[in-house]
Chain A
Amino acid sequence: MTFIFPLRRAASTAALFGFMAIGAAAPALADDYRIDAAWKAALENTDGVLTDPQHATVNMIAYNSAASLLCDGIELDTPRVVKVMDEIIAAAPAELTPEQQLERYTDILMMLGTARGIILAEGALHEKEFCEGANAAKADADINDFWK
């Protein structure tokens, strides 16, 4: 990977979010297109709303949805998304008041929408590799994705 790619990422990220630096100090790979500062800002106050598997599932739905928008030949399996999101939303702690359930529901939808938006931006920064990865995942029978 040449040096131009980290520079291109930094420039694109700054253009998108108005920052001159990526921000997080995680030792990511040199050619990582992760928009660190956006993820951190989005996630810092939502920790604990979802379990790890639930959160990862919401991320996968967001990723699969973003790929269906950016990549040719990839289409979202909407009925499956609806079913799984229903399961996650229904898995609220039993003692919650209706108002708290409503707040939790809204938070989850916001988490999904935010993740989808950030992943869409990340994918657009390197669309070719992003779509190649999505198509490879789609072709892998061992991956239980949300695509048709």
Chain B
Amino acid sequence: MKLSDISKQGRRLLLSSILAVAALIGAEQSAQAGGISPGGAAIVGGVAGLAIGAAIADSARPKRPYYYNGYAPAYPPGQYDPYWNRVYRPDPNVTCYPAQRLCYNRYGAISDKWTRRVYGS
């Protein structure tokens, strides 16, 4: 499904439903910030499946028109694997994966500290 296939009214519902999907984390706060009551968010949540379906259907697109400004791919077209397999060890007990923007400690658990330090979150 493409967004262009959805009517204007449908898009409004879609936007509302996405706000409801945001409720996965912080339902009431998100809804209230968006001017929708918690009860309203629950109602529009009935069409949340439409938004999710559109996102999943679009997930195979090779390019998106909304890359952040200044984005330059770290790998040539079709060469994701070498990029994906890059590993960075800022410490003997820490393994960071640049493509994932995530670091793990030697026990295999995520390293909050190193992820923030290396990737600047």
Contacts and interface: CB of A to CB of B under 8 A. Distances in A.
* Interface residues on chain A, size class: 35 or more
B26 A81 contact: yes
Contacts, number: 187
B118 to A, nearest CB: 8
Contacts of A60: 112, 115-116, 121
A148 to B, nearest CB: 13
B99 A47 contact: yes
Main secondary structure on A side of the interface with B:
helix
A121 interface: no
Contacts of A79: 26, 29
B107 A26 contact: no
A56 B116 contact: yes
Interface residues of B, number: 60
Interface of A: 24-29, 31-34, 39-40, 43-57, 59-61, 63-65, 76, 78-79, 81-82, 85-86, 91-93, 96, 99-107, 109-110, 112-113, 116, 119, 122-123, 126, 129-130, 132-134, 137, 140, 142-145
Interface of B: 3-4, 11, 14-15, 18, 21-22, 24-26, 29-30, 33, 51-52, 54-56, 58-62, 64-69, 71, 73-74, 80, 84-87, 95, 97, 99-102, 104-113, 115-116, 118-121
21 contacts: A28-B104, A29-B95, A29-B106, A29-B108, A43-B99, A48-B73, A49-B64, A52-B101, A56-B116, A78-B26, A78-B29, A85-B26, A99-B3, A103-B55, A109-B21, A110-B55, A110-B59, A123-B109, A133-B107, A133-B110, A142-B113
